Amino acid sequence: MSDTVTIKRKRGLDIMKVREDFPILRTTVFGHPLVYLDNAATTQKPLAVLEAQDRYYTTINSNVHRGVHFLSQQATEAYEPGRKKIAAFIHARHTHEIIFTKGTTESINLVASSFGRKFLQKGDAILVTAMEHHSNIVPWQMICEERGALLKVIPVNEKGELVLDELDGLLKERVKLVALNYISNALGTVNPVREVLRAAHGMGIPVLLDAAQAIQHTEIDVQELDVDFLAFSAHKIYGPTGFGVLYGKEEWLNQLPPYQGGGEMIKTVSFEKTVYNDLPYKFEAGTPDMAGSVGLGAALDYIQSLGMDNIRTYEHELMAYALDALRGIDGLRLIGEARERAGVLSFLVGSIHPFDLGEILDKQGIAVRTGHHCAQPIMDQYCIPGTVRASLAFYNTKSEIDALVTGIHKAIQLLG
């Protein structure tokens, strides 16, 4: 570990120094310094990630596993450590419990398809929550339709918290798997996943956690949580796009049939019979994203050098500051007021359409997201078409929150 990194770790985060690691943050937009508050959609990449991927393509690139030649071996040696780093990062028992995918969406589709084909019968059910991202609804809907199963929903109250009183009753309705997000991308709610896991496991039901919005904000120990499946995307944790992870307990992964067929996922192929490969390759058909693994590995090294505890403490402070600041704006209504929240602030201002507010903020260099955030069912529950969403990362500053507040006031003056 370098000296600067050790200093950062001991003393908490020096945010201005950290920002220097992210070249894109120096961008100006319409003459204003970029204020990037769209981190729930995707995070920016530190130089460490950009350089690792560049180095991979300029010096190592070759196809992995099958080659005897020098570069192919180098590529394999660069690619596989990513899996080890991820396993260590989420405290998986085995490296082969880490399956590489394109991202959270593909990870969930993999489980929905494989688990559904193996275990879902007519009349069975999958249980999700009312605040899921479409990626944790539609794959289940598709497999339920195919298998004649039902999709059931844990309700959410006005504050944006799960109504757990109904959980035990719902679980008894032939539920075969529970799939829920750890942190909601639409509301910022941190869900009581331990309680859900305890209740589900009490009835022998496995749980999949969509950790797309949690992996970058909170430490995750899959063994301590005792979660059965966990999905996340590299691009939301400062890594590259198009790459992601499915963690699955070995005993579950061994029971599931392959998701896709092709190269890499086989041991032997004949026209009469194919013998599938061992974990993790059984679920990794085709040439993998080598640079993706290298990039995610570099991202994990980078954030570990800052210290997850430092990140959590700083983000907590920033969230409290932002909540106070937004609550001080006349006519601003937060959508989702859960006691436990992280990363995301969703809101509406008076009768201003979220899209109009987003455009005015954009003209001031402030990047927020507007719309339903791929979570239409929860927007429907609030009877709104969408919100403005500001989402935070550890490189955001209090002065950026001040800029957001000034921007909102400007929009109120113009449109309010």
- Segment interacting with ligand PLP (CB under 6 A) among 205-213, 363-371, 377-385, 397-405: 205-213
Sign of the alpha-carbon torsion through 361, 365, 367, 372: positive
**Helix segments in 47-184, DSSP class H:** 47-55, 70-89, 104-119, 138-147, 167-171
Taking the least distance from each CB to ligand PLP, the nearer of 50 and 138 is: 138
Count of residues binding ligand PLP (CB under 6 A)? 13
Which pair of tokens denotes residue 198? 């305890």
Cα–Cα separations (whole angstroms), residue 75 to 71, 79, 245, 249, 290: 6, 6, 19, 27, 7
Classified as helix, coil or strand, 251 is: helix
What single DSSP character describes residue 38? B
User: What is the footprint of ligand PLP within residues 254-313 (CB under 6 A)?
Assistant: none
Q: How far apart are CA 175 and CA 124, in angstroms?
A: 6
Q: Residues near 94 by Cβ (< 8 Å), separated by ≥ 6?
A: 87, 250
Minimum CB separation of residue 333 from ligand PLP in Å reads 22
Query: What is the pattern of x (binds ligand PLP, CB under 6 A) and - over residues 109-148?
Result: ------------------------x-xx------------
Minimum CB separation of residue 45 from ligand PLP in Å reads 14
Minimum CB separation of residue 172 from ligand PLP in Å reads 27
Q: How far apart are CA 3 and CA 213, in angstroms?
A: 31
Query: What is the pattern of x (binds ligand PLP, CB under 6 A) and - over residues 21-40?
Result: -------------------x
User: What is the footprint of ligand PLP within residues 354-413 (CB under 6 A)?
Assistant: none
Taking the least distance from each CB to ligand PLP, the nearer of 38 and 97 is: 38
Taking the least distance from each CB to ligand PLP, the nearer of 390 and 403 is: 390
Which pair of tokens denotes residue 211? 């950790």
Q: How far apart are CA 381 and CA 384, in angstroms?
A: 8
Taking the least distance from each CB to ligand PLP, the nearer of 90 and 403 is: 90
Give the number of residues written for the chain: 416
Longest dimension (CA), the chain: 72
Classified as helix, coil or strand, 205 is: coil
Residue listed under structure tokens 């950290």: 18
Taking the least distance from each CB to ligand PLP, the nearer of 332 and 378 is: 378
Cα–Cα separations (whole angstroms), residue 129 to 75, 183, 199: 41, 12, 15
Taking the least distance from each CB to ligand PLP, the nearer of 75 and 212 is: 212
- Which of 154, 212, 319, 342 binds ligand PLP (CB under 6 A)? It is 212
Minimum CB separation of residue 233 from ligand PLP in Å reads 3
Residue 210 is a binding residue for ligand PLP (CB under 6 A): yes
Cβ-contact 155, 208 below 8 angstroms: no
Taking the least distance from each CB to ligand PLP, the nearer of 212 and 360 is: 212
Minimum CB separation of residue 198 from ligand PLP in Å reads 22
Residue 233 is a binding residue for ligand PLP (CB under 6 A): yes
Residue 239 is a binding residue for ligand PLP (CB under 6 A): no
Residue 43 is a binding residue for ligand PLP (CB under 6 A): no
Minimum CB separation of residue 102 from ligand PLP in Å reads 7
Distance in angstroms between the alpha carbons of the first and the last residue of the chain: 52
* Catalytic, out of 29, 47, 374, 415: 374
Residue 383 annotated in active site: no
Residue 101 is a binding residue for ligand PLP (CB under 6 A): no
Cβ-contact 281, 265 below 8 angstroms: yes
Residue listed under structure tokens 């929903």: 153
Residues identified as active-site:
374
Q: For binding to ligand PLP (CB under 6 A), which residues are involved?
A: 40, 103-105, 133, 135-136, 181, 185, 210, 212-213, 233
